[in-house]
Structure 1
Amino acid sequence: MTSIFDQLEQASQISQRAEPVSEPMTSSGYITMQMEDNTPMFSKQKMNFNPSDLITHVAVASDYLVLAMANGKLFRLDLKMPDQHEEIHYAKFVQPNTKLSNIFLDPLGQHLLLAFAARNKEGNPELIYLHRSRNKPKSVSKSRNYEVTEVGWNYENKSVTTTGPILLGTSQGHLLETELEADNDKMFSGSQQYWRQIFDIGKGTDTPITGIQFHRINNTTKYFIFVTTPTRLYQFIGSAVFTDNKPSLQTIFYSYLTTTETGFQEIPSTLKYSKLQFYFDKDNTPKTFAWLTEPGIFYGQLDPTSQQNSNSLFTQGELINYPAEKIDTKDLVSEKSDATEKTPLAFVLTEFHAILMFSDKVKAVSLLNQELVYQDTYSEAHGKLKNIVKDPIRRTIWAVTDKAVFRYKVIREERNVWRIYSDKEEFDLAKQYCHNNPAFIDIINVKQAELLFSRGEYEKSVEIFAETQCSFETVCLKFLEVNQTNALKFYLAKRLDALNEDDKTLISMIVIWMTELYLSQLGFLRRKGKEDSDEYCQIQSDFEMFLLQPKVMNCMHHVKSVIYDLMASHGDKHNLIKLTIINEDYENVIEQNIYKKSYLEALKILQGLRRPDLYYQFAPMLMEAAPKHTVDALISQGHSLTPSKLLPAFLGCENDDKHVLEIIRYLEYIVQNFNGKDKAIHNYLLTLYAERNKPALMRYLSRQGQTLDMVNFDVHYALRICREKNVPEACVKLSALLGLWEAAVERALDVDVPLAKSVAAMPEDTEMQRRLWLTIAEHVITKNQDLKEAMSLLQECPLIKIEDILPFFSDVVTIDHFREPICQSLQEYNTQIEDLKAEMEEATKSAECVRDEIQSFRNRSVVVSVSDACCACALALLLRPFYLFPCAHRFHADCLLTEIQPTLSPARRNKLSDLQRRLSVLSSAELAAVTASGLPLREVIRNEIDDIVASECIFCGEYMIACIDKPFITDEDWDKVMKEWE
């Protein structure tokens, strides 16, 4: 049950807790969010420890608590097991003329040092060592002449039996290096590995050392050391020599022994004490330090690497003043205000606060703004405060009075850090400690934006304003008042991005406003003649990007007329055209240009678009007015246009050669460059050729080819057009293309005999060629009865003979004129007859040979002896049914079946299996049944099996050729063969 004194003390603690800094909500975006955390930042709890006497000293490390009491005993307790504690009488192990001055516990909670000072001149200082597992302390023998005032523990030491190298500070200013080790003998502990003095800070004067901290710089062999006296803070840095993975700290001071100046920070003080504390981050790396002096706490960020450029191992050092005394007249506990007690007796360091201990109270002061954030007054019932310490490993904080032990709990001490950094204008740090709280971040952003705005940094200010929840109208008015158009545009763009698609009214308002701003800026620069300036180009580029945003494009469908009016009022024709492109409202602008007879401007707009439908729509008017430029524009579009859709525009302007030539130019471009195969295009081009350019028509027909599957025009239509336009050469080619050879030759004879000859050579059918040549011969001979020309025809075409053309000559021509051709023809006939005779004799001889071979096979036989063996298994052949081949190879039936089966195709293998199954399954009566062929079924099945199995000899047939790449010995038989060869 809580005592009345504890209840009064808790009431005092609550009443004197400092109120958190309040801050007005400068942003309207978060009106329902709770801005303060009501959980106390610091709270204490009295521990249920019952020491046997008044407490004089305390030490805590790794959840291990050691109390020194006035009766000469030590109270030791493992905080993980609070019900088990022990008391050790240490006074009987030390000289009577000494008194306990301090106790020191290493970070592991394993090694305890008790420092004793002499009571009078007869006494000597002493240092006692006690291991956690021992009950009897032992004096450190070499410490007799040194009064130890401070111990610098080795934070890298992980051993429970040895302290590792440590530093001891004395009342005379000596720095000692030693290592203590627990003996195996439980009755005796504390052997010294070594003991040496490594530096003298006092240099002959009695300057007590009040604080020691040494740590290794990460990933190096360097160490930095902080040593404090009542008025000075010394800094040392150097490389240590490692032996058995243990550093020798003495080497660090070698460079300082030869110089008279040692780096130190001096703060005047009349006190005989000071305190040094380090704060470690989560990786147990020293982050900050604090040094308690009479004027205040000297605080800084540790940065050992900065020593390369300066003599200081820390940065941002500042002196934090002690908070003023607050006396609450309503306090239930009576207080005795001691005006002279201004300096704390002890303190501990947290990440953001220093917790100061006075004789009757504990205060917490912020390290960032030096404000008092917590005050706790202790009741006289517990006695005066003796010390406040922090567990370096568990980070728990303990305050000790004469009669009680209290534990302090720190809960989210960083909760108000963001406010402090914000007040100090360190906004990035403030945001880091907001823990992503949107309300806090919004407050910081508003402050930062207001600060930048007051400094005239409008662009940076508006970037941050855009991330806040400030009133839209307020921010816009701010930048309008100072005429910052660019900043206002940026803010409007950010707010536009943040709007949902449903906020159509707000989106429309912002789009119209931003359009007006862009047009005003562009118009102002145009009036000044700066259309070619970089500023104008940049604004124009930004405006185009703005118009292409999806939200803006969607909004344009609703406010298109308003935007058009704005652009028209500013006379910005260039952007008006671009806007029509974005809105796909091209018809309006192009029609206006055509109406104003600005055909080139209309074509320029069309070329800037990717709208083929507009070309089809406006091509008739543009072709009529500007054929050459229109065709140039059509050609520039390449294959993106469908030429057949442009035919109506072409058909309407065939009035003169100027238009026709441009149409032909476009059609030729399509046919030649894109291999167009549209029959309508080719038919139209062929028609224009037939009307205007007959040589081009012939070249076109030649390029198209001589087969129907190669041409891309309608051949019948082309033939009709060529007849109508009287182009006989083209008619000849088209008739030949259709296979109308007689008609083609007849038309060619009307034009030119060589043309007819070339047509007659085209058909693949020799009989057709012969008829065509006879037609040509008849035409030539009946025309002029020229014997020489007739003889040349016989030489050009070997298909016609002299007898074929004789009827075409008149009766007055005598046979003497044809003697030589007739003799040549008779000689050829005689040669053919002799060849036929030779072929007949050769065929007769071949038939005789075949008949002789058939007769010899009828009388052929083979003798099988008893000694003959199977060629496959080498066993006697007559033991089992066998096959005998004409090549004299012989095999058992089952051996041949085994050999031949893997070579069969799947179909023949299945058929063989089926025949074997039928032979084994059918009954004798069924097998004896006579089939349609007159043979028993058994004989028919066996014959079919023989046809499959014995179709060829496996040694002489195709099977042996197929096996030429197979090894003689398989992998399975290799081991067997190897054994046989052995």
Structure 2
Amino acid sequence: MVENRVSSESPKPSACFSCHALGISSSAALGAYMFYRAKKADSSSHRFTCALFGLDKENHMLSKDFDQQLEYQAQQTFRSDASSLQVDDVLEPIFIKSELSWRFERNTRINHLVVSNNVFILHLNEKTLQRRCPDEVPKDAKVTSTYQDAQIPDVISKVFLDPFGRIVLVSTRDKRDIYVLVSSPNSLKLNKKPIRLGTNSSFVLASVTWCNRFIQTQNDVVALLAGQDGRIFEVLIRNDGELLFSTEVYPSFKSIMDSIADSVTGIYCDVKSAYEDNSNVFVVITTQKALYYFEQQIDPSRKSDYFTSFFSFFRDASLPDLKYREFPGGTAQSEIQLFIKRKSETKQLLYRQFAWITGAGLFYTEIDPNNVQKSFLERSRIIYYHIGKIINENDEERPPKSVALTEFHCLMMFPHENQIRAVCTVNEKIVMIDGSMASGTPVCYARDHIRDQLWACTDEHVLRYTIKDERRDVWRVFMQKNDFQKAYETCAIADDDLETARRQRSINSRHADHLFNEKKYTPCANIYATSDTSFEDVTLKFFALRDKEPLREYLQAVLLNLQASADSTQITILTLWLTDLFLNELDELRQTYSTTTNRRKATSTTASSSLQPNEEILDEKGRKDKFDEIRRKFRNFLSKREIQPCLRQHRLAMYDLLTSHGDLDDLILFAEHVQDHERVILLYLEREDYKKALDTLEPLNNYQLLYKYSPTLIEKLPEQLITVWQKKYNDHFEPKELLPAMIAYSRAFPKGQEVLKFLEFCRSRNCTEKSIHNYLLSEYIKFNPSKIMLYLEGQTADPLAITYDPRYALRLCIDNDLKEESVFLYRLLNMYEEAVDTALQVDVKLAEECASTAPINDERTKKLWLKIANSVITQGHDLNEVMQILEDCGNELLKIEDVLPLFADFETIDQFKKPIINSLDHYNERLTFLRNEMNDASKSIDEIRDDLAKYRTRCVATIDSNEICSLCSQPLMIQSIFYIFACGHYFHGDCLFGYVRRIMERKDKRSLNGAGSEAINQSNPSKTSGKTTIQKDIDRVNYLQSIIASGSAPPSRDMESVQQELDNLVASQCILCGETAVDSLDEPLKAIL
């Protein structure tokens, strides 16, 4: 991976022109430097660097100091981690043994140990079997022992325990009997009666293989028992230890053993691939001299006798017919050990290892579930017991007494040397020697396949082996053996992702080097990208090759493996570099084709020609295929998601780089990829490929580009372009922007009507842009003037709502002498005088229509009709037509006296007699009407004057409801009659009358007494002669007040006049601020109130 690892502590060389002056990172400078140094003689490197740094060709000068700076950074940035192949000396041991705290009686010797499902069966001394299970607790609290013993009648020879820890088989040494013991929680029960197999009592049990792992029975145990003489028995033992079934399944094998004087040492049976496929099984039988392999199918649905049919296929086979592998003879104590990797599901393929102690060495193989036979007969190997140990000629190479397998190691127990050796099964090297056996003499190993635990025992103690990080060095071994797949699988550390990644990079580095040495350049390029091999080393390797495809593959892989947080400059450098590599290769293919073509031409004109020895000439088809392949890869590269931001950001640099190679196709390809549609269109236009330019433009929703390039395209592809216009027409489409293109079309095709069709299309789509309608009118005038009037009449009569410019349309009509259309537009513009003048040039009726539709304006309309009359009189002297005009316009608008001056002086009056009489009668009627109107107006004025006099004292005022009387200070509203004055004083009617009366009496007290009788006599004329004026007023007030109080007025008067008179007497002015108040200033206030 490209990353910056420059140490801050390392000395940095001086540079007068550093990377920081260019504003790029050291990684970016390194990429440019590598490309610059590797292709210094190639002019394309100059183009690449200029494009990368954005420099002009003339200004691009790399100084010597800058070269030194870049070279220094290259050395510091990329470092190969060679130390990854070295093993750390300070490491914890892989195998850690611990002694169990079990204590045995004095003089007790452990002779053998078997473990299954955490059930331990120990052979103690000669005849004792002891059962222990750490998971169990005694049922009886009084019992403190955690083990169970069983005594066998004879000396024990071998002990076998089924995989689930339920059934124990024991063979004896002297009587050669076979006993069955039942192992259950806190119990070990012996069936005292031994089992008999066959008729011959000389059967010596050599080995047992349990089949319950793949044959599912309820509580029974199925096993194959192999005798030393070659007899093979299948037994079915019930869970209580009773033998239910036994049969010899392969009788003829004993004859084979007898014929070659060999004896059986072990047997192993298992499924071939997975426990779910339990019908395909194999059997391995080991002897002192060979290993025999059998495979066939069984019927797992049977309740017993599974293997009779299995071995029936080999019943009549002789030794040459069998599949076996011979080994040098020896007297080794044979033992079969297995390692079975636990699987979570029965469907999973089994991973198993098989080890067998022979006199020649340890037979070892990894069982391939897809080809078990080859695993045993072809792919197996011998691991020698004394690896790396110098053996004297007189020394005997003693085999181990017992072995144990782990996933990648084999532990060998050498009691005679009192040591244990751990050998790596991958490279057959010793990784551990344990000679500190203080626990006693080693006896044997025991593996619990159910619990996946490894145990061992000495003659005194039971030991447990804990395996810690067994894979930590195995991946290096696989890597050194060039088995990179297994190295990759074994290098992972569950809780250390960083270390796992470091190991994977080391493996990839070694793997890539291996492939490179084998000249598999392209595969190794992708692996190099994920290795820790330095970037500059890889690039220099690939640059030395003639084929630059591995370099391209490597750079692409590096680019794709960059983290999301990587410096964008790194991505930019790699992207530009790869682009240049692609373009160079495409250029070379073009040059090869050109050279080949020229050479062929030369060959055709000369008699003979010779080619350079190392020159490669591609035939036409091969060159084309190669060119298409590189271009396809280039397109795939440009479509990578990781470089899209870079391509968009640095598109100008890419354009410069592509342009420098002079390939317009690649330039178009890149512009299309980055969706720079405008540049694509420009490039197509530059090539005069107008069809592709239009095809690029059509699917876009960029209307601005359509507006911009339509003037160019319409001259070449008018029909196709206008079809695109129609397809693009929608609410966002602005046809007015296409006017330059329409004008260009009109210039290029003076007689073409495609634009007219488009304009009519716009009109049908309810386009309201005036410029479009104006251009439509101009096209109509050019090609079909008869449609103009229909178009104008189809518009609304409102000048503000029409979709064309009426003045522009009028100018067009005037210029093209379209009279009727001009009249229509004059009328639309309210230019009725011009309309009538123009209409008179066409038809008098049209002029009359114009005058009759003019807005009502007596003077203006009269003038229009006079124009018409004058035209008729001037042109034809048709008096009847003039009279008809007078009737059409109406006598109120145009009269006979208006047109008389237009006639010549010699005209007679006879023809005008009737119109003149009618005119005079009309004037007389008009005068009478005006006179009546004047009389009516005079009457109305008199009535208005009377009304004004009547209501001059009336007013309307708005007061608050809580106002009080200015005299008594009581609420004003408590009485129905009250008076309001503009000065702001308010009075009750009674308070006002009383106040006025007291003022009058105070003024003339003496005359008031006389005036009282005078006032009475006024109502009675015989008694009113001696009263004063004041007394009369007082009496009048009292009289009027009484009438109002009674509510009935005298017959000669109405209540309104009575109230008016009373108001005039007492309320003509405010009594507190009017003249009455001024006259009463000398009166005492107490006397008045």
Task: State TM-score, norm by structure 1.
Answer: 0.62
Higher mean alpha-carbon deviation, 658-667 vs 444-453, is at 658-667
> Quick one: structure 1 residues 632 and 113, their matched pair in 2 at CA, closer, same or farther if it must change by over 3 Å?
same
Following the alignment from structure 1 to structure 2, what is the Cα–Cα distance between the partners of residues 156 and 589?
A: 71
Please state if 1:675 is matched with 2:765: yes
Match of 1:249 among 304, 307, 332: 307
The whole-number CA distance in structure 2 between the counterparts of 1:106 and 1:136 is 15
Residues 77-226 of structure 1: pairs in structure 2 closer than 5 A = 77-81=132-136, 84-86=145-147, 88=149, 90-91=151-152, 94=153, 98-118=154-174, 123=175, 125-132=177-184, 133-143=187-197, 144-156=201-213, 163-181=220-238, 183=240, 190-200=241-251, 201-203=253-255, 205=258, 207-216=262-271, 218-226=276-284
Is 2:750 aligned against 1:661?
yes
Q: Secondary structure at the match of 2:229?
A: coil
CA spacing shift, 1:178–1:633, aligned 2, 3 Å: closer
Q: Once the two structures are superposed, what CA deviation does each residue of 1:38-65 show, in whole Å capped at 9, x if it has no partner?
A: 3321111122222231122222111111
**Alignment-derived partner of residue 992 in structure 2:** none
CA contact (8 A) 1:110 1:160 kept: no
SS in 2 for 1:300: strand
Aligned to 1:289: 354
Could you tell me which of 574, 587, 601 is aligned with 1:510? 574
Which of 336, 340, 363 is the equivalent residue of 1:280? 340
Instruction: Give distance in 2, aligned partners of 1:198 and 1:554.
Output: 74
Report the alpha carbon displacement of residue 116 of structure 1 after superposing the two structures with TM.
Answer: 0.6
Rg (Cα) greater in structure: 2
Kept in 1, the 8 Å contact 2:110–2:458? The answer is yes
Whether the 8 Å contact between 2:774 and 2:804 is mirrored in structure 1 is no
Deviations 1:734-762 (A, max 9, x none): 89999999999999999799999xx9xxx
Q: Which residue of 2 aligns with 1:58?
A: 113
In the other structure, the counterpart of 2:544 is 481
Counterpart of 1:375 (choices 418, 422, 433) is: 433
Match of residue 129, structure 2, among 40, 51, 74 = 74
Written as runs of structure 1 = structure 2, the 5 A alignment for 1:196-345 is 196-200=247-251, 201-203=253-255, 205=258, 207-216=262-271, 218-241=276-299, 245-246=303-304, 248-260=306-318, 261-271=321-331, 273-283=333-343, 285=350, 287-303=352-368, 306=371, 314=376, 317-324=379-386, 339-345=395-401
Distance 2:183 2:795 in 1: 110
In the alignment, which residue of structure 2 is the partner of 1:536?
A: 627
- Distance of 1:230 and 1:483 partners within structure 2: 60
CA shift in 2, pair 1:46/1:754, >3 Å = farther
Looking at structure 1, the residues matched to 423 and 631 of structure 2 have their Cα atoms a distance apart, in angstroms, of: 57
Counterpart of 2:716 in structure 1 is 629
Equivalent residue letter for 1:269: G
Q: Please tell me whether residue 456 in structure 1 is matched to residue 512 in structure 2.
A: no
Cα deviation, 1:708-742, whole Å, max 9, x if unaligned, reads: 89985456764664355333565688899999999
1:219: how far off?
A: 3.1
Contact 1:213 1:226 in 2 (8 A): yes
Q: Verify the 8 A CA contact 1:390 1:397 in the aligned structure 2.
A: yes
Shift in CA distance, 754/85, structure 1 to aligned 2, threshold 3 Å: farther
RMSD in angstroms over aligned alpha carbons? 5.5
Paired residue secondary structure (1:210): strand
Check whether the contact 1:323–1:372 (CA below 8 A) recurs between aligned residues: no
Alignment deviations for residues 432-488 of structure 1 (CA, whole Å, 9 cap, x no partner): 222261011101111111111112221111111122233221111111111332222
Separation of aligned partners in 1, 2:687 and 2:120: 98
Contact in 1 for aligned 2:571/2:646 (Cα 8 Å): yes
Deviations 1:912-943 (A, max 9, x none): xxxxxxxxxxxxxxxxxxxxxxxxxxxxxxxx
| 1:350-749 equivalence runs, <5 A | 350-359=406-415, 360-379=418-437, 382-435=439-492, 437-497=500-560, 498=562, 503-529=567-593, 533-543=624-634, 566-567=657-658, 569-575=660-666, 600=688, 608=696, 613=704, 628-629=715-716, 631=718, 635=722, 638=725, 639=728, 642-647=734-739, 658-659=747-748, 661=750, 665-666=754-755, 668-669=757-758, 671-672=760-761, 675=765, 677-695=767-785, 697-698=787-788, 701=791, 713=804, 718=809, 721-723=812-814, 725-728=816-819, 730=821
**Separation (CA, whole Å) in 2 of partners of 1:255 and 1:191:** 30
**Corresponding residue SS for 1:257:** coil
Name the aligned partner's letter for residue 289 of structure 1: F
Provide Cα deviations, 1:298-355, integer angstroms capped at 9, x if missing partner.
2333356647xxx657586221322435679xxxxxx999942431222122222222
In the TM superposition, residue 564 of structure 1 has moved relative to its aligned partner by: 5.8
Whether the aligned pair in 2 keeps the contact of 1:345 and 1:357 (CA below 8 Å) is yes
User: For residues 232 and 161 of structure 1, what CA distance do their matches in structure 2 show?
Assistant: 36
Contact 1:280 1:286 in 2 (8 A): yes
CA contact (8 A) 2:411 2:423 kept: yes
For structure 1, the 5+ residue unaligned runs are 1-25, 184-189, 329-334, 760-781, 785-810, 813-982
> What SS does the corresponding residue of 2:317 show, helix, strand or coil?
coil
Task: Quote the Cα distance in structure 1 between the aligned partners of 2:784 and 2:839.
Answer: 17
Deviation string for 1:382-422 (max 9, x for gaps)? Answer: 44322212122122222222222222112232333322322
In 1: Cα distance, 2:325 partner to 2:566 partner: 65
Are the aligned partners of 1:151 and 1:211 in contact in 2 as well (CA < 8 Å)? yes
In 2, the alpha carbon distance for the partners of 1:470 and 1:105 equals 53
| Separation in structure 2 between the aligned mates of residue 399 and residue 409 of structure 1, nearest angstrom | 11
What letter is aligned with 1:265?
R
Question: Does the CA contact (< 8 Å) of 1:679 and 1:714 recur in 2?
Answer: no
In structure 1, distance between residues paired with 2:425 and 2:357:
13
- The DSSP-based 3-state class of the residue aligned with 1:451 is helix
Query: Between the two proteins, what is the percent identity of the paired residues?
Result: 25
Describe the SS at the equivalent of 1:317.
coil
- CA distance in structure 2 between the aligned counterparts of 1:35 and 1:703, rounded to whole angstroms: 101
CA contact (8 A) 1:161 1:182 kept: no
Shift of 1:148: 1.5
Q: SS of the counterpart of 2:716? A: helix
The C-alpha deviation readout for 1:882-902, integer Å capped at 9, x for no partner, is: xxxxxxxxxxxxxxxxxxxxx
Moved more, 82-91 or 153-162: 153-162
CA contact (8 A) 2:266 2:334 kept: yes
Aligned partner of residue 256 in structure 1, secondary structure? coil
Give the partner amino acid of 1:287. R
Distance in 2 (alpha carbons) for counterparts of 1:412 and 1:460: 32
Distance 1:584 1:138, change over 3 A: closer
Q: Alignment length, in residue pairs?
A: 722
Cα distance in 2 between the residues matched to 1:324 and 1:364 = 11
Matched letter for residue 160 of structure 2: F
* Deviation (angstroms), 1:542: 4.3
Aligned residue for 1:67, secondary structure, equals strand
* Equivalent residue letter for 2:735: P
2:485 alignment partner AA: D
Q: Write the distance in 1 (CA, Å) between the matches of 2:683 and 2:662.
A: 16
Distance 1:515 1:726 in 2: 67
Alpha carbons 2:209, 2:268 under 8 Å: kept: yes
1:27–1:446 contact (8 Å) kept in structure 2: no
1 CA distance for matches of 2:177 and 2:684? Answer: 109
